[in-house]
């Protein structure tokens, strides 16, 4: 019996969280104390032929830099396998860093030659983080694949980090409690921000309708005076 691919599993979880958001799950629980930070677990897959629940793909030996060959998920996954392997070879101590791959590169809407690859580097060691940044930049430069690299820094309103990490493929297993707690705070603030935006849209709509009614009434009054 064939197993589901990780892409199908990823899309299933995406739809699952979308349904929870639509049903008000996040607005109900994210602002309450019963929603613990430990629940904010990203995907824990590690790209290797042993741990990934898929038929093993052979690492591509094609010429590097052929970004147009990344149209299929299998090819992009092979690139991530090679990236993870070389990353861990360059930085073998995985106990203090992680690199998260997120964005269209791991989704269906990836467009070869147009889309880039998005990365978030989490590492508290400044010098090591700089080294990882340079490694990632050089790796994807050789692949002729544009990359957007973010270095994680905690900010209560750093929404891009929460949405990126919690919807990403991690390259190592490092996921400390401090990061979970920070992502919990950012996610809760993001939910409150979305709620404020909805309220703002609602009141802007009402202001528009009230002003429109007032202008129409003034026009009618002016028309009555002239007649």
Q: Is residue 117 part of a domain?
A: yes
Q: Is residue 17 part of a domain?
A: yes
Answer whether residue 215 shows pLDDT above 50.
Answer: yes
In angstroms, rounded to a whole number, what is the distance separating the alpha carbons of residues 156 and 135?
Answer: 28
- Give the pLDDT score at 73: 92
Per the CB < 8 A criterion, the answer to whether 171 and 47 are in contact is yes
Q: Give 111-163 pLDDT, tens digit per residue.
A: 988 999 999 999 999 999 999 999 999 999 999 999 999 999 999 999 999 99
Task: Give the closest residue to 119 by CA, choosing from 170, 51, 180.
Answer: 170
- Give the pLDDT score at 199: 83
Per the CB < 8 A criterion, the answer to whether 176 and 122 are in contact is no
% pLDDT > 90, the chain: 51
Q: Is residue 108 part of a domain?
A: yes
Q: List, as own/partner pairs, every contact residues 162-167 make where C-beta atoms lie below 8 angstroms and the sequence separation is at least 24, other chains included.
A: 162/186, 162/187, 162/190, 163/102, 163/190, 164/100, 164/102, 164/103, 164/118, 164/120, 165/42, 165/100, 165/102, 165/120, 165/122, 166/40, 166/42, 167/14, 167/42, 167/102
Count CB neighbours of 155 within 10 A. 13
Q: Is residue 31 part of a domain?
A: yes
Q: Is the pTM of this model over 0.75?
A: no
- For residue 182, give its domain range: 6-226
Q: Is residue 1 part of a domain?
A: no
Domain count, the chain: 1
Burial of 186 (0-12, 13-18, 19+ CB in 10 A): buried
DSSP 112: T
Q: Is residue 104 part of a domain?
A: yes
Per the CB < 8 A criterion, the answer to whether 132 and 157 are in contact is no
Task: Give the closest residue to 84 by CA, choosing from 45, 122, 141, 114.
Answer: 45
Between 63 and 196, the more confident residue is: 196
């Amino acid at each position: 019996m064939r197993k589901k691919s990780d892409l199908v599993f990823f899309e299933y979880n995406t739809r699952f969280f979308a349904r929870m958001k639509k049903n008000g799950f996040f607005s109900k629980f994210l602002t309450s104390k019963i929603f613990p930070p430990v629940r904010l677990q990203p995907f824990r897959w590690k790209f290797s032929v042993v741990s990934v629940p898929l038929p093993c793909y052979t690492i591509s030996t094609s010429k590097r830099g052929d970004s147009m060959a990344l149209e299929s998920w299998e090819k992009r996954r092979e690139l991530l396998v090679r990236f993870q392997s070389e990353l861990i070879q360059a930085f073998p101590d995985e106990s203090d860093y992680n690199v998260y791959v997120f964005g269209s590169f791991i989704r269906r809407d990836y467009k070869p030659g147009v889309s880039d690859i998005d990365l978030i580097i989490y590492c508290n060691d400044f010098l090591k983080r700089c080294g990882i940044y340079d490694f990632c930049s050089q790796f994807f430069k050789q692949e002729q694949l544009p990359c957007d690299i973010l270095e994680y820094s905690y900010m209560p309103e750093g929404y891009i980090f929460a949405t990126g990490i919690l919807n990403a493929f991690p390259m190592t297993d490092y996921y400390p409690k401090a990061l979970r707690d920070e992502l919990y705070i950012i996610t809760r603030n993001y939910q409150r921000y979305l709620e404020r935006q909805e309220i703002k849209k609602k009141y802007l709509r009402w202001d528009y309708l009230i002003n429109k009614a007032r202008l129409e009434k003034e026009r009618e009054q002016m028309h009555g005076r002239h007649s």
